[in-house]
Amino acid sequence: MAAIEKVKVVVLGDSGVGKTSLTYLIAHNKPLISPGWTVGCSVEVKLHRYKEGTQSQNTFFVELWDVGGSNGHRNTRNVFYQPTHGIILVHDLTNRKSQVNLQKWLSEILNQDSSNPTFQQVDVDPEQFLGSTQIPILVIGTKFDLAEEKQRKNQYRRLSSSIAEQCGADEIFVNCFQARSLAPGTSNSVKLTRFFDKVIERRYYSRVSPFSEKRRIPPYIMATSTPLSNNKPSQYLSPRFYHMD
């Protein structure tokens, strides 16, 4: 039996926005009953069928790296960022600050320097910088049920995030405690599947590496019908798992 190839998707966002519950829901199609705080990194794995129902259909593992959002670990988080094949940015729909901070998270991972163990934040102009990257990005707003309640009370007007528009990325809204948020056939499920397909296509059917030396990603190269034989997955770091109940 042939080995199943894998891709790595890094899940970023402020502490408390629901990244752990989200990754569990994506991987297991059911809610996490008692989520805990993530310190360091936690990994969930989803079996994904690339381009399901077509002649190009293939099976891949999608690793979802849930990176802890504590500011105290900012200088050590870069160990979890190499390699990165796709990025999920997560914000709390009831917390405007968590949405604004997505730009900082994206700046952190795209500016991280793998040769420097101490990460230094570099400010970027989103209008110029975000448009230059073609690393697949998906933006997810959590706690949709609470946001809807605020909308009914006219306490919360805007749901969509500006960073999704700047990146040209899809955005979905979920309630992590309801499996139907990502039920097959829903708009959310279609967008999530499309995102995973993009990640796999870029990793295995394109000669473009996820990070270039200048942090600028050149245009896509025409995809081939089979994964490139000389483009095998690089060795992954073995993450340590920390949970604070």
Lowest-confidence segment of 159-168, 186-195, 219-228 by average pLDDT: 219-228
- Separation CA 201–CA 50 (nearest Å): 9
pLDDT of 48 strictly over 70? yes
In this predicted structure, the answer to whether residue 171 has a pLDDT above a threshold of 80 is yes
Residue 153 pLDDT > 70, yes or no? no
Distance, first Cα to last Cα, the chain:
39
180-202 in b/e form (b: 16+ CB < 10 A) is ebbeeeeebbebbbebbbbbbbb
- Give residue-wise pLDDT tens across range 110-152: 887 544 443 344 444 444 434 444 799 999 999 998 887 766 6
The answer to whether residues 102 and 139 touch, using CB atoms and an 8 Å cutoff, is yes
pLDDT, mean over the chain: 78
Predicted TM-score (pTM) of this structure: 0.77
